């Protein structure tokens, strides 16, 4: 009788264990959906050759969700390497990849409202004219580019005026491109996030008196009040800056994990996607430094429990100069390939999100 009861107890324990494994498999507990984006530099070689044929970077091409181009690359400016919009469209269609456009031409002038809108059209329309679509518009630092105090230009705007300006810009973009998702990129090290969470440089705040969270919330409130939506916030904080624990002047503590953690929470509460550019300034280490620090960045993000909705592997530097091939050490695509492999290891997921 005792043996029969013991056998019954063992069977019950096994059944419970099997039920738990079935109901809560390990991958379900640790997996997190996220997207992967890339953006090769606009001041190195032209990416036209990699868009024509993905055989030499098939691993990266097969795993990314978003390819972000710099808008100036299709606008014909002489200081940026050109991108053929037809190649972008064909590539996106063949690889089932969304296209994003980074736009930062918020330059101050008396007639800037209309000029900025028309400049954005010039950087988006070539994609539409070639039969494609731009999924997302990434606005590079519009607040600090127009902010009175930081900017001394006579046409600089107050934070209230910038919020109103952004509402009008949003509506004009949405009128022409109804499905486009629009969000902000911020250069985080150059802002004090709040009074207690300062930036490594912090000079945007020092000169304007505005904290980044204050500016972000003001613009977001204006958009919501007008019926618009900020689709995402994209943080630019290269690893060289993320790992710093004191300000450049060594006069205060810097806590970048706390800032990113708060932004991650803020975005979730406001139903805004939290994007992060994962890269590093090459400095004197060149393409090798870009590679090694970018990969190290991922390890720190996972340790600090930072979980972006989109990881962007991006360069705006002169290194890595070569984009291809992905199997040659320290090219841009080689960094992307190895960083993505590490990302998937650190942040397991079941499948390629959104594809």
Query: What are the structure tokens assigned to 106, written together?
Result: 């918020």
pLDDT of residue 351: 56
172 bridge partner residues = none
pLDDT of residue 33: 86
Query: What are the structure tokens assigned to 247, written together?
Result: 């300000």
Contact assessment for residue 302 and residue 321, using Cβ atoms and an 8 Å cutoff? no
pLDDT of residue 18: 36
What CA–CA distance (Å, rounded) separates 25 from 287? Answer: 40
Helix (H, G, I), strand (E, B) or coil at 198: coil
Axis crossing angle, helix 212-225 with helix 256-269, rounded to the nearest 10: 10
Contact assessment for residue 330 and residue 53, using Cβ atoms and an 8 Å cutoff? no
pLDDT of residue 76: 87
What CA–CA distance (Å, rounded) separates 331 from 173? Answer: 35
Weakly modelled stretches of the chain, pLDDT under 70 = 1-32, 350-355
Other CB atoms within a 10 A radius of the CB of residue 49 amount to 12
Contact assessment for residue 127 and residue 84, using Cβ atoms and an 8 Å cutoff? no
pLDDT in tens, 208-263: 999 999 999 999 999 999 999 999 999 999 999 999 999 999 999 999 999 999 99
pLDDT in tens, 85-118: 999 999 999 999 999 999 999 999 998 999 999 9
pLDDT of residue 6: 47
């Amino acid at each position: 009788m005792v043996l029969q009861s013991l056998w019954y107890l063992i069977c019950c324990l096994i059944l419970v264990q099997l039920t738990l494994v079935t109901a809560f498999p390990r991958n379900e507990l640790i997996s997190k959906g996220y997207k992967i984006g890339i953006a090769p530099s606009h001041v190195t070689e032209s990416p036209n050759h990699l868009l024509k044929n993905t055989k030499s970077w098939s691993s990266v091409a097969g795993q990314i969700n978003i390819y972000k181009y710099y808008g100036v690359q299709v606008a014909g400016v002489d200081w940026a390497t050109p991108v053929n919009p037809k190649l972008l469209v064909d590539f996106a269609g063949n690889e089932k990849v969304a296209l994003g456009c980074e736009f930062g031409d918020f330059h101050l002038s008396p007639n800037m409202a209309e000029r900025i809108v028309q400049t954005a059209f010039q950087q988006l329309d070539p994609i539409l004219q070639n039969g494609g679509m731009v999924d997302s518009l990434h606005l590079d630092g519009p607040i600090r580019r127009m902010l009175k105090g930081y900017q001394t230009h006579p046409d600089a705007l107050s934070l209230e005026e910038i919020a109103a300006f952004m509402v009008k810009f949003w509506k004009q973009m949405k009128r022409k491109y109804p499905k486009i998702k629009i969000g902000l990129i911020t250069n985080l090290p150059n802002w004090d996030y709040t009074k207690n969470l300062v930036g490594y440089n912090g000079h945007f705040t020092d000169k304007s008196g505005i904290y980044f969270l204050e500016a972000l919330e003001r613009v977001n409130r204006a958009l919501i009040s007008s019926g618009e939506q900020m689709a995402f916030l994209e943080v630019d904080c290269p690893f060289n800056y993320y790992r710093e624990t004191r300000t450049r002047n060594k006069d205060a503590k810097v806590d970048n994990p706390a800032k990113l953690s708060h932004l991650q929470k803020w975005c979730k509460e406001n139903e805004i996607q939290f994007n992060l550019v994962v890269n590093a300034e090459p400095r004197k280490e060149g393409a090798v430094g870009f590679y090694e620090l970018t990969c190290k960045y991922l390890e720190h993000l996972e340790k600090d429990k930072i979980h972006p909705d989109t990881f962007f592997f991006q360069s705006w530097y002169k290194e890595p100069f070569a984009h291809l091939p992905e199997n040659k050490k320290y090219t841009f695509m080689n960094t992307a390939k190895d960083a993505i492999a590490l990302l998937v290891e650190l942040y397991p997921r079941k499948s390629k999100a959104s594809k």
